[in-house]
Amino acid sequence: MARLPASEAISADLRAGIVNMLRGCAGLRPGQSLLILTEPPGSMHYDPGLAPAIAAVGRSIGLRVQRRVLAHCPRASAPPGPVMQAIAAADRALFLTRRGDQLRFDPILAQTAPVMCYALDRMMLASDYGTADHRAFVELLACLNAALARARHVQVTCPLGTDFEGPGARFPETGGEVSIRRFPLSVFTPVPAAGYRGTIAVAGFLTGTGKSRYDPCDLALADVLRIGFDGTQITGFAGADADAAGAHYDHVGAILGTRARCVHSWHAGMHPGCAYRMPAAANVERWGSGAFGNPRVLHFHTCGTVAPGEISLNVIDPTIRIDGVAVWEDGRLYPRRVEGGDAILARHAGLAALFAAPETEIGLAPSGRLCLGVSEPATG
């Protein structure tokens, strides 16, 4: 087994999270090969000790482990030829780099189905977010997707004024889901916006979806911004930041050559073990990679006709009623309220306890809202 320095010792919980990812999600077995793709040295998006820990545990369970560097880039694009060859040659590739997230909806990765790790540090991987049985969340994903697909009516509200509704989920036959394996698995399949209409209320900031880097990538909001939409079209902005928001959408659409005021899809977090313990304002991009799996966060893919779009709209503490039943209520997911949920909780030890006492830290400011910068948002 590869050894880490004593100060980097691997705890039992961290080992359990790594094994859950490598066996439960990646499906790797002794004798198979793992390629770990990391960001260049000096990047702090991921904990620099995460890759060595995964490599050490991987070797201890009989895997052949290699590492390569794959830098983040301003636009989503295929990895260089030698890296794509290495991905194809490995039994499984693991992305500890934002490049994998950029390409999560790109069919170029579909044949190899690499794993994208959304546990950004060893603490997250060693927590319930990383150690809760991956297979349970595969089942929960199927259960929630089925409930949304057969629904006749879905309504979403939030404390800031979000209120939109539509005819359940009309998932496309192809192209609606990611082409990677996500670990931890923490959101359901994006629900197409077509057929939905109403108001999205957001506070704190508008930010990117992780697909592209552009300047400015974040727009600070002084107060609640309300975005009206009808199907796939934004119909207007209301609030103190309405003009700035409209200009931001038009700017991003113009520089990236995409349909600016398009609403593509939405989905919410479904993993009660997901916690983000730093203020979102400290690093909004990292927050977007680490907090979205908590059931307190619902986000829209907007500004673009292909998922995930270019601008993310983040709704906090949603209530999602599926045919009148609040399956998410004030940011908390209740699996027992959907058909098949009871059976999933019964099959997986500890899962019911996790949903009974979910993590609530998602990087909000002391005001209880998202915030960008040092000043608090308005509370009125």
pLDDT of residue 60: 97
H/E stretch holding 59 reads helix 50-60
200 and 256, same domain (yes or no): yes
120 and 169, same domain (yes or no): no
pLDDT at 102 exceeding the cut of 90: no
215 and 326, same domain (yes or no): yes
Q: Which of 67, 102, 126 is the last residue of a domain?
A: 126
pLDDT classification of 18: cutoffs 50, 70, 90:
very high
36 domain residue, yes or no = yes
pLDDT of residue 76: 66
373 domain residue, yes or no = no
Q: Which of 97, 126, 155 is the last residue of a domain?
A: 126
369 domain residue, yes or no = no
Q: What is the CATH number of the domain that holds 36?
A: 3.40.50.2300
**Which among 134, 29, 142, 125 is positioned nearest to 348, based on CA atoms?**
134
Q: Which of 96, 126, 156 is the last residue of a domain?
A: 126
**Tens digits of residue pLDDT in 193-205:** 999 999 999 999 9
CA dist list (Å): 203 to 93, 241, 296? 37, 10, 14
pTM: 0.93
Helix axes 50-60, 12-19, angle to 10 degrees: 80
d(CA 27, CA 43): 28
Q: Please report the sign of the dihedral spanned by the C-alpha atoms of residue 104, residue 288, residue 344, residue 25.
A: positive
H/E stretch holding 325 reads strand 325-329
pLDDT of residue 42: 86
Q: What is the mean pLDDT of residues 176-183?
A: 78
pLDDT at 380 exceeding the cut of 60: no
151 and 116, same domain (yes or no): no
pLDDT of residue 177: 63
334 domain residue, yes or no = yes
Q: Please report the sign of the dihedral spanned by the C-alpha atoms of residue 180, residue 186, residue 189, residue 195.
A: negative
153 and 100, same domain (yes or no): no
CA dihedral defined by 276, 280, 282, 285, rounded to 10 degrees? Answer: 90
76 and 173, same domain (yes or no): no
pLDDT of residue 310: 96
pLDDT at 86 exceeding the cut of 90: yes
Give the burial class of 329: count Cβ atoms within 10 A of its Cβ; 0-12 exposed, 13-18 middle, 19 or more buried. middle
Least confident of 12-21, 95-104, 167-176, 310-319: 167-176
The pair phi, psi for residue 145, each rounded to 5°, is -60, -40
**Which among 202, 375, 371, 360 is positioned nearest to 280, based on CA atoms?**
371
CA dihedral defined by 370, 275, 101, 68, rounded to 10 degrees? Answer: 130
Q: Indicate the number of domains in the chain.
A: 2
In this prediction, what percent of the chain has a pLDDT beyond 70?
A: 94
101 and 185, same domain (yes or no): no
144 and 109, same domain (yes or no): no
229 and 333, same domain (yes or no): yes
pLDDT of residue 3: 44
Q: What is the DSSP string of 176-197?
A: SS-SSEEES--BPPPEE-TT-E
pLDDT at 259 exceeding the cut of 50: yes
**Tens digits of residue pLDDT in 263-291:** 999 999 999 999 999 999 999 999 999 99
H/E stretch holding 92 reads strand 92-96
d(CA 71, CA 85): 16
365 domain residue, yes or no = no
59 domain residue, yes or no = yes
**Average pLDDT in the chain:** 92
Q: Is 302 helix (H, G, I), strand (E, B) or coil?
A: strand
Q: What is the mean pLDDT of residues 51-57?
A: 97
Give the burial class of 93: count Cβ atoms within 10 A of its Cβ; 0-12 exposed, 13-18 middle, 19 or more buried. buried
Tell me if 91 sits within 8 A of 34, measured CB to CB: yes
In this prediction, what percent of the chain has a pLDDT beyond 90?
A: 82
**Tens digits of residue pLDDT in 214-254:** 999 999 999 999 999 999 999 999 999 999 999 999 999 99
280 and 161, same domain (yes or no): yes
1 domain residue, yes or no = no
CA dist list (Å): 27 to 24, 36, 61, 269, 346? 6, 15, 13, 24, 24
**Tens digits of residue pLDDT in 104-129:** 877 777 778 899 999 999 999 999 99
For residue 248, the enclosing domain spans 134-356
Q: What is the mean pLDDT of residues 94-100?
A: 91
pLDDT of residue 175: 56
**Tens digits of residue pLDDT in 24-43:** 999 999 999 999 999 999 88
Q: Is 230 helix (H, G, I), strand (E, B) or coil?
A: strand
150 and 169, same domain (yes or no): yes
Q: What is the DSSP string of 348-368?
A: STTHHHHHHS----B---TTS
pLDDT at 174 exceeding the cut of 70: no
Better-scored residue on pLDDT, 77 or 263: 263
22 domain residue, yes or no = yes
147 and 59, same domain (yes or no): no
